[in-house]
Amino acid sequence: MTMEIAVDPTGNVLTLKQGDDCMRFHAIWLRDNAQDAETRSPANGQRLIALRDIPRETRIASANIGEAGVELRFEPEDKTVVFNTGWLRAHAYDRSFQQSRGWVADDVECWDSSISDNVPTGTLPELESGGDALKSWLDGATRYGFAKVEGGPTEEGALFRVVDLFGYVRETNYGRLFEVRTEVNPTNLAYTGLGLQAHTDNPYRDPAPTIQVLYCLESTAEGGENMVVDGFACARRLQQENPEHFDVLANYCARFEYAGEDGVCLTSRRPLIELSPDGELIAIRFNNRSLATVTDIPFDKMDLWYAAYRRLGEIIDDPSMEVTFRLNPGEAFIVDNTRVLHARKAYSGTGKRWLQGCYADKDGLRSTRDAMCRKPAEAAE
């Protein structure tokens, strides 16, 4: 089908029309997104100019469709740039923006206990060899916000091999790694045999670590099973049940605090449900142990906030939302700590349970996945 091309009389708007399909682009957006070698470094893709280098009065002086794509000449620079029509289509912004509050990205799939038999899992040696096994594991970890690793060694520090698959350790006051086992004078309740309600780690940190790795070295104690819960699924269920509950948790900030060690006083002020300005669900913070005194909610909303917080907790505790598993030595799991809550059952003093944990960041995970996905596509162009 032929594509029609038109520029409005001011030179400010380009219109491409193909049948019923119509896309408009602004001159300044087009110029700023030119992909030529003077605008973008061919070597590393970074933009070589700033907006201040593009005249404010930029307009499209002429527009043609040729073999190479859409050829535009910009004035007053007298600069000609060719845009690939597929690229323009992929980046079109002349569309409806009607996503409802709490939407999630396309590569995110909300889940409940029914995925228990389909947890993204790989063996450590297979994942370390890269290729499709790694790509599919990274893809699963991004989609579900958690994934398991099996077949690793029973060796201290082996959890770093899991991090090496996609990123870098985020060191904190807990160290590069922390030992999760019963301690005599625990600085944190995680280092006891107590059961822990599903939670996200370190909401008192800002930025909170976005990935947690827990790696099992010993597991002969009774109990101590791990559970994971999709915080996004819980927040959306809360929204379906009662939009006011969702809104009050998203519209006001809670506070979190941890000051359980000398020299440490970590505090943050963030909502339990975090949305981007255009309503994307981007993070959940939920941790009964470190929720501090909440003082940023007006008096006439506080009862509603507590009712919503209680209901969110009930949904999180609902067994139909959780995936339960028992880690054996040499097994690990990772969670997207901005989304997936983790819990553990209480365990007894008989036998031993020893995990090592560490933090990392999910931008590395997405980056590694996207670099693996993108390469063949670009090579094919």
**In angstroms, rounded to a whole number, what is the distance separating the alpha carbons of residues 355 and 216?**
4
> Of the two residues 215 and 305, which places its CB atom closer to a second copy in the complex?
305
Buried b (16+ CB within 10 A) or exposed e, 82-114: ebebeebeeeeeeeeeeeeebbbeeebbbbbee
> Of the two residues 4 and 303, which places its CB atom closer to a second copy in the complex?
303
Q: Minimal distance in Å, beta carbon 19 to a second copy?
A: 19
Q: Minimal distance in Å, beta carbon 266 to a second copy?
A: 5
Beta-sheet pairing, 79-83 with 69-75: antiparallel
Judge contact between 282 and 276, C-beta under 8 A: yes
Is residue 89 at the binding interface for a second copy, with CB under 8 A as the rule? no
Is residue 243 at the binding interface for a second copy, with CB under 8 A as the rule? no
Taking CA atoms, 6 is separated from 16, 23, 364, in Å, by 7, 11, 42
Residues 6+ apart with CB under 8 A from 85: 3, 16, 65, 69, 70
Tokens matching residue 360: 């990392």
Judge contact between 355 and 328, C-beta under 8 A: no
Q: Which of residues 343-372 bind a second copy (CB under 8 A)?
A: 361-364, 366-368, 370-371
Q: Which of 69, 153, 193, 260 binds a second copy (CB under 8 A)?
A: 260
Q: Minimal distance in Å, beta carbon 122 to a second copy?
A: 18
Tokens matching residue 70: 């859409």
Is residue 128 at the binding interface for a second copy, with CB under 8 A as the rule? no
Is residue 129 at the binding interface for a second copy, with CB under 8 A as the rule? no
Residues 6+ apart with CB under 8 A from 206: 268, 270
**In angstroms, rounded to a whole number, what is the distance separating the alpha carbons of residues 230 and 136?**
20
> Of the two residues 82 and 119, which places its CB atom closer to a second copy in the complex?
82
User: Would you give the binding string for a second copy spanning residues 207-236, x where CB under 8 A is met?
Assistant: xx-x--------------------------
Is residue 242 at the binding interface for a second copy, with CB under 8 A as the rule? no
Is residue 37 at the binding interface for a second copy, with CB under 8 A as the rule? no
Q: Which of 6, 37, 49, 68 binds a second copy (CB under 8 A)?
A: 49
Is residue 6 at the binding interface for a second copy, with CB under 8 A as the rule? no
Q: How many residues bind a second copy (CB under 8 A)?
A: 97
> Of the two residues 50 and 380, which places its CB atom closer to a second copy in the complex?
50
Q: Which of 45, 66, 349, 376 binds a second copy (CB under 8 A)?
A: 45
Judge contact between 194 and 183, C-beta under 8 A: no
Is residue 173 at the binding interface for a second copy, with CB under 8 A as the rule? yes
375, with CB counted inside 10 A (0-12, 13-18, 19+), is: exposed
The distance of Cα 141 from the centroid of its chain, to the nearest Å, equals 10
Q: Minimal distance in Å, beta carbon 86 to a second copy?
A: 13
Stretch that binds a second copy, among 132-140, 212-220, 246-254, 319-327 (CB under 8 A): 246-254
Is residue 85 at the binding interface for a second copy, with CB under 8 A as the rule? no
Beta bridge pairs of residue 336: 211
Q: Which of residues 296-315 bind a second copy (CB under 8 A)?
A: 296-299, 302-303, 306, 309-310, 313-314
> Of the two residues 2 and 293, which places its CB atom closer to a second copy in the complex?
293
Residues 6+ apart with CB under 8 A from 306: none
Residue entry with tokens 């029914």: 114
Is residue 114 at the binding interface for a second copy, with CB under 8 A as the rule? no
> Of the two residues 151 and 310, which places its CB atom closer to a second copy in the complex?
310
What is the CB neighbour count within 10 angstroms for residue 266?
18
Q: Which of 2, 10, 44, 100 binds a second copy (CB under 8 A)?
A: 44
User: Would you give the binding string for a second copy spanning residues 178-207, x where CB under 8 A is met?
Assistant: -------xxxxx-------x------xxxx
Is residue 264 at the binding interface for a second copy, with CB under 8 A as the rule? yes
